[in-house]
Amino acid sequence: MRFAGDSGDGMQLVGSQFTATSAVFGNDIATFPDYPAEIRAPLGTPAGVSGFQVNFASRHVFTPGDRADVLVAMNPAALKVNVGDLVDGGILVVNADEFDETNLQRAQYGANPLETGELSRFRLYKVPITTQTLEAVKQAGLGPRDAGRCKNFYALGLVYWLFDRPLEPTERWINSKFGKVPAVAQANTLALRAGYAYGETAEIFTVRYRVKPADLPAGTYRNLTGNQATALGLVAAAQLAGRPLFYGSYPITPASEILHELSTHHSFDVRVFQAEDEIAAMCSVVGAAFAGAIAVTGTSGPGMALKQEAIGLAVMTELPCVIVNVQRGGPSTGLPTKTEQADLWQAMLGRNGECPVPVVAARSPADCFWTALEATRVAVKYMTPVIMLSDGYLAQGSEPWRAPEDGELPALEVRFATDPATFEPYARLENGERPWAIPGTPGLHHRIGGLEKEHVSGNVCYVPENHQRMVELRAQKVANVARDVPDQEVFGAQRGELLVVSWGGTFGCVRTAIEQARDNGKDVSHVHLRWLNPMPRNLGEILSRFRKVLVCELNMGQLQLLLRGRYLVDAAGLHKVQGRPFMVSEVLDKVDELLGGKAL
Domain shared by 174 and 258, yes or no: no
pLDDT for 598 equals 64
Q: What does the pLDDT look like over 121-172, one tens digit per residue?
A: 999 999 999 999 999 999 999 999 999 999 999 999 999 999 999 999 999 9
Domain shared by 174 and 300, yes or no: no
Instruction: Choose among 503, 502, 529, 495: nearest CA to 590.
Output: 502
pLDDT over 80 at 599, yes or no: no
Q: Rounded to an integer, what distance in angstroms lies between the CA atom of residue 288 and that of residue 322?
A: 12
**Rounded average pLDDT over 360-389:** 98
Tally the domains of the chain.
Answer: 3
Q: What does the pLDDT look like over 174-220, one tens digit per residue?
A: 999 999 999 999 999 999 999 999 999 988 887 889 899 888 888 89
Which of 402, 431, 466 is at the close of a domain?
A: 402
Residue-number span of the structural domain to which 145 is assigned: 2-201
407 in a structural domain: no
Q: Rounded to an integer, what distance in angstroms lies between the CA atom of residue 315 and that of residue 107?
A: 52
User: Identity (one letter) of the amino acid at 41?
Assistant: A
pLDDT over 90 at 322, yes or no: yes
Q: How far is CA 153 from CA 9, 67, 96, 216, 435, in A?
A: 10, 24, 16, 29, 57
Which positions ≥6 away from 321 have C-beta within 8 Å? 285, 286, 288, 289, 295, 296, 297, 314, 379, 385, 386
Q: In the chain, pLDDT over 70 holds for what percent of residues? A: 99
Q: In the chain, pLDDT over 90 holds for what percent of residues? A: 90
Q: Rounded to an integer, what distance in angstroms lies between the CA atom of residue 552 and that of residue 510?
A: 8
299 in a structural domain: yes
Q: What is the CATH number of the domain that holds 52?
A: 3.40.920.10
449 in a structural domain: no
Domain shared by 194 and 256, yes or no: no
pLDDT over 90 at 326, yes or no: yes
DSSP code string of 284-301:
HHHHHHHTT-EEEEEE-H
Domain shared by 160 and 110, yes or no: yes
CB atoms within 10 A of CB 412: 21
pLDDT for 230 equals 98
Mean pLDDT (the chain) is 95
Give the predicted TM-score (pTM) of the model: 0.91
Residue 42 pLDDT class (50, 70, 90 cuts): confident
**Rounded average pLDDT over 570-597:** 95
Q: What does the pLDDT look like over 491-514, one tens digit per residue?
A: 999 999 999 999 999 999 999 999
Which of 369, 402, 435 is at the close of a domain?
A: 402
pLDDT over 60 at 600, yes or no: no
**Rounded average pLDDT over 222-247:** 97
586 in a structural domain: yes
429 in a structural domain: no
Q: What does the pLDDT look like over 421-456, one tens digit per residue?
A: 999 999 999 999 999 999 999 999 998 999 999 999
Q: What is the CATH number of the domain that holds 371?
A: 3.40.50.970
**Rounded average pLDDT over 34-57:** 88
User: In the chain, how many H helices and how many E strands?
Assistant: 21, 19
Domain shared by 197 and 253, yes or no: no
426 in a structural domain: no
Which of 375, 402, 429 is at the close of a domain?
A: 402
pLDDT for 555 equals 98
410 in a structural domain: no
Q: What is the CATH number of the domain that holds 530?
A: 3.40.50.920
Domain shared by 65 and 193, yes or no: yes
Domain shared by 186 and 231, yes or no: no
Domain shared by 104 and 162, yes or no: yes
Domain shared by 147 and 243, yes or no: no
Domain shared by 318 and 386, yes or no: yes
Which helix (H) or strand (E) segment is 369 a member of? helix 367-382
**Rounded average pLDDT over 408-418:** 94
DSSP three-state, residue 360: strand
461 in a structural domain: no
Q: Rounded to an integer, what distance in angstroms lies between the CA atom of residue 305 and that of residue 351?
A: 9
